[in-house]
Structure 1
């Protein structure tokens, strides 16, 4: 009887573990399916990484998951931080972690790919 109880507990725990793993996998798939191409202005400095959408002017915190955006920005050799640049990015939007991100941003743009970065800001809605 003791062996049956142990086997039952093992099966239940295994089921819980499999379910937990599948939920995490589905969340990752949801994020990947929500990947969008966005165009806007990116500013980077010691205390802030922000993206302002050209279309509607909404501002987002930026998480550079590929670590390529910050490097590309630094390679433009600005004399001072927070100079805006025009970017075209591939990424998805996620709820901001309030322990890491300023309270000014309720959403975070998670960058998965840098398509374009330029000091030249095109005419139109992105021009300041």
Structure 2
């Protein structure tokens, strides 16, 4: 009987640990809202962002539906011209089945705070 109680306790304890880990992963997947500043490039095949401070590159998903429109309003002659942006976003793991798999993370833009052709002096240059 004691062996049964110990086994039952062990199974319950492991279940709690597994559930807690899965909830943490779900919270990480949604991500925390961040404000990132860096260079954004947009074109037919690639939507990328380079964080000026850390130098990391992210695939960009525009959930706000305003980033791509704002970029297009600059009327560049060629695609992939970099612009400086400041955005509210959260980071998620990139989907391994599409182009974004080449990037460690995907930056999901929720709000565009600033977008300009003028790239400021500092780590972005």
Per-residue CA deviations over 1:58-93 (Å, capped at 9, x if unaligned) read 100000011110000000110000000000000000
Matches within 5 A, 1:36-47: 36-47=34-45
The residue aligned with 1:77 is 75
TM-score, normalised via structure 2 length: 0.75
The residue aligned with 1:31 is 30
Structure 1 residue 101, shift from structure 2 partner: 2.9
The residue aligned with 1:115 is 113
Structure 1 residue 99, shift from structure 2 partner: 1.2
Structure 2 contact 28–92 (Cα < 8 Å) conserved: no
The residue aligned with 1:20 is none
Moved over 3 A (4+): 27-30
Unaligned runs of 5+ in 1: 1-22
How far apart, CA to CA, are the structure 2 residues paired with 1:31 and 1:37?
A: 15
How far apart, CA to CA, are the structure 1 residues paired with 2:58 and 2:28?
A: 22
- Please, what is the CA RMSD of the aligned residues? 2.2
The equivalent position to 2:104 in structure 1, one of 103, 106, 116, is: 106
Per-residue CA deviations over 1:78-126 (Å, capped at 9, x if unaligned) read 0000000000000000000111234320200000000000000000001
- Quickly say closer, same or farther: Cα 1:30–1:45, change in 2 above 3 A: closer
The residue aligned with 1:63 is 61
TM-score, normalised via structure 1 length: 0.73
How far apart, CA to CA, are the structure 2 residues paired with 1:50 and 1:30?
A: 20
